[in-house]
């Protein structure tokens, strides 16, 4: 039987536990705009302490610099309005520019704004703001998450801000090639060259982790079939080597992948299904925050990656739990 992405998505689905991340983001989404901005300020000032100073310094900010300069020159009320517009995804020139940024540029933009807020150059939270009970509820829900989940909530809320011009169709906004202006992250930890995963000997999997830990995306992508797919956490599959390569260059730089153990099930057609659990570190937080994740691979009979899903684990216990729950 031919492999399909739809059926690949369901592999090991009986071992998965629903993540608390979407529920926390749903609570956040119910807040009004000022509450959302305030929540992010309170959550970030806790979590943000662990951002490694090297990460944002290394991130090239060309794309965001212009916007930051404009915002710095505004009155406090105007600054608040820009932030409200971003959070409410209003259709304004600044919101459009932001919507066009890549994930790391969005994060770097807010990181810089946060620094300017701490220095008092930009107004920290909306003028006259009073914390509402709703913010408290979302903050309490956030505190129950592990650190890796907390930074995922922060990341996903920041990524969703701004006006998304892609909804208007392909020619609605001039697109530059983002890859050239991508934030670049320097690796701070030594590259682990020989990957060992308990229970796994599959060359495509070991080769994938080794290549990713060296930011060698060409080598990692060559392990996929032409029409292979990558499904990042909480996203739809990205299909085809070219699209995966673009995604990796924008979002997978500087990641440290530390798979720990896995299982491999050989299917009657010769394909293999593998589930591996482990920890991933982002260059934004370095070694201080580990995200518990799983990789679910579907390898075709020729040894190529047909499908790879990355999932955030609901609890650290799941790291140990590869079989049905």
41 binds ligand EQ3 (CB under 6 A): yes
Residues in a beta bridge with 297: 274, 308
User: Closer CB to ligand EQ3, residue 97 or residue 152?
Assistant: 152
63 is a contact residue toward ligand EQ3 (CB under 6 A) = no
CB neighbour list of residue 63: distance below 8 Å, 6 or more residues apart: 101, 105, 181
Out of 277, 282, 294, 300, point to the residue binding ligand EQ3 (CB under 6 A).
282
Instruction: Using the minimum distance from each CB to ligand EQ3, give the nearer residue, 58 or 107.
Output: 107
Tell me the C-alpha distance between 36 and 105, whole Å: 20
Q: Does 59 bind ligand EQ3 (CB under 6 A)?
A: no
**In this structure, how many other beta carbons lie within 10 angstroms of the beta carbon of residue 170?**
8
Binding status of residue 221 toward ligand EQ3 by CB under 6 A = no
Strands (E), the chain: 224-231, 238-239, 256-266, 272-281, 291-299, 305-312
Q: Is 251 in the site for ligand EQ3 (CB under 6 A)?
A: yes
| CA 259 to centroid of chain Cα atoms | 18
For ligand EQ3, the binding residues in 98-157 under the rule CB under 6 A are 107, 110-111, 113-114, 117, 151-152, 154-155
For residues 156-215, which are near ligand EQ3 according to CB under 6 A?
158, 212
Burial class of residue 200, CB neighbours in 10 A (0-12, 13-18, 19+): buried
Q: Where are the beta strands (DSSP E) in 51-135?
A: none
44 forms part of the interface with ligand EQ3 (CB under 6 A)? yes
* Chain positions contacting ligand EQ3, by CB under 6 A: 37, 40-41, 44, 83, 107, 110-111, 113-114, 117, 151-152, 154-155, 158, 212, 232-233, 251-252, 255, 257, 280, 282, 284, 291, 293, 310
């Amino acid at each position: 039987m031919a492999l399909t992405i739809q059926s690949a998505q369901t592999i090991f689905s009986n071992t998965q536990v629903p993540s608390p991340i979407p529920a926390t983001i749903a609570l956040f989404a119910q807040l009004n705009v000022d509450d959302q901005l305030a929540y992010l300020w309170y959550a970030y000032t806790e979590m943000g302490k662990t951002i490694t100073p090297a990460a944002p310094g290394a991130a090239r900010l060309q794309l965001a610099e212009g916007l930051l300069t404009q915002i710095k020159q505004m009155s406090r009320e105007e600054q608040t309005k820009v932030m409200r517009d971003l959070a409410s995804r209003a259709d304004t020139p600044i919101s459009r520019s932001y919507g066009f940024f890549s994930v790391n540029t969005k994060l770097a933009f807010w990181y810089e704004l946060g620094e300017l807020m701490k220095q008092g150059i930009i107004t920290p939270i909306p003028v006259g703001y009073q914390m509402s009970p709703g913010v408290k509820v979302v903050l309490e829900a956030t505190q129950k998450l592990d650190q890796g989940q907390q930074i995922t909530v922060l990341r996903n809320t920041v990524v969703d801000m701004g006006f998304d011009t892609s909804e208007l169709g392909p020619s609605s906004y001039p697109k530059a090639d983002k890859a050239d202006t991508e934030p670049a992250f320097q690796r701070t930890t030594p590259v682990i060259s020989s990957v060992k995963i308990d229970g796994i000997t599959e060359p495509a999997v070991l080769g994938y982790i080794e290549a990713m830990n060296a930011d060698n995306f060409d080598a990692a992508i060559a392990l996929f079939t032409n029409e292979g797919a990558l499904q990042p956490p909480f996203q739809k599959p990205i299909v085809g080597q070219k699209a995966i390569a673009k995604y990796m260059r924008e979002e997978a730089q500087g990641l440290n992948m530390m798979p720990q153990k896995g299982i491999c099930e050989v299917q009657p057609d010769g394909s293999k299904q593998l589930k591996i659990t482990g920890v991933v570190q982002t260059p934004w937080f370095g070694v201080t925050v580990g995200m518990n994740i799983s990789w679910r691979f579907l390898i075709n009979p020729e040894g190529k990656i047909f499908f790879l899903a990355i999932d955030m684990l609901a609890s650290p216990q799941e790291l140990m739990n590869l079989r049905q729950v």
